[in-house]
């Protein structure tokens, strides 16, 4: 594949088959529970001063490797309240500038359950390359940590010897493989 000169050229849309949106949260104080969402869609547009990112994921696309009851609980009002708030959205609040060393800091608004909060995500940017099919691809991988209670997800269960069953800090990781329009 050939690397293209500037990482700041054009508009890209997400390749949903090669992109992911995942989360991780402490469980029972001893392990980390992980889940993911399918159906990620995003658009990345190059502005003169950086990248503008707008992405959405359907809450109903949540996937967990546990029984159906857990998925149903996560979709309920205790957590994502999917019936009333069917999407999670992220939009940059200022252009993100890819750095020469491949890093990127992205500031934006994360909206879940009709609650919008400013977040800062750190990650990497992979400059555009030509793919074997005549297209142009680029990638962005980001991580941030939020407090789920800030988004109205306050469900909790005390452990018998103290402590909580579910952590409040949630790591969000997003990996976007992008196709030039």
| pLDDT tens profile 5-43 | 456 678 999 999 999 999 999 999 999 999 999 999 999
Structural domain boundaries of the chain?
A: 11-180
pLDDT, mean of residues 130-134: 93
Of 87, 8, 105, 103, whose CA–CA distance to 42 is shortest?
87
Q: What is the mean pLDDT of the chain?
A: 92
Positions of E strands within the chain: 11-14, 20-27, 31-37, 41-47, 50-58, 62-63, 87-92, 103-112, 115-130, 136-147, 166-180
Q: Is the pLDDT of residue 4 over 50?
A: no
How far apart CA 159 and CA 28 sit, in angstroms, is 7
Tokens of 134: 């005549």
Residue 149, pLDDT score: 97
pTM for the model stands at 0.90
20-27 vs 166-180, strand pairing mode: antiparallel
Domain 11-180 has CATH 2.40.128.110: yes
Residue 117, pLDDT score: 98
Comparing 152 with 5, which gets the higher pLDDT?
A: 152
Give 68's pLDDT tier (boundaries 50, 70, 90): low
Give 67's pLDDT tier (boundaries 50, 70, 90): low
Residue 5, pLDDT score: 44
């Amino acid at each position: 594949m050939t690397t293209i000169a500037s990482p700041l050229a054009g508009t890209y849309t997400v390749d949903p088959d090669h992109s992911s949106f995942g989360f991780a949260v402490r469980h029972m104080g001893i392990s980390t529970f992980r889940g993911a969402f399918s159906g990620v869609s995003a658009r990345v547009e190059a502005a003169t001063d950086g990248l503008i990112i707008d992405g959405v994921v359907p809450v109903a696309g949540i996937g967990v490797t546990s029984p159906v009851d857990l998925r149903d609980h996560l979709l309920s009002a205790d957590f994502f309240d999917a019936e009333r708030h069917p999407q999670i959205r992220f939009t940059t609040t200022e252009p993100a500038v890819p750095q020469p060393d491949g890093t990127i800091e992205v500031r934006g608004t994360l909206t879940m359950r009709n609650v919008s909060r400013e977040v800062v995500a750190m990650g990497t940017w992979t400059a555009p390359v030509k793919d074997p099919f005549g297209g142009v691809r680029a990638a962005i991988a980001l991580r941030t940590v939020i407090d789920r209670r800030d988004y109205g997800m306050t469900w909790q269960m005390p452990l018998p010897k103290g402590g909580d069953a579910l952590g409040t800090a949630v790591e969000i990781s997003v990996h976007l493989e992008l196709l030039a329009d």
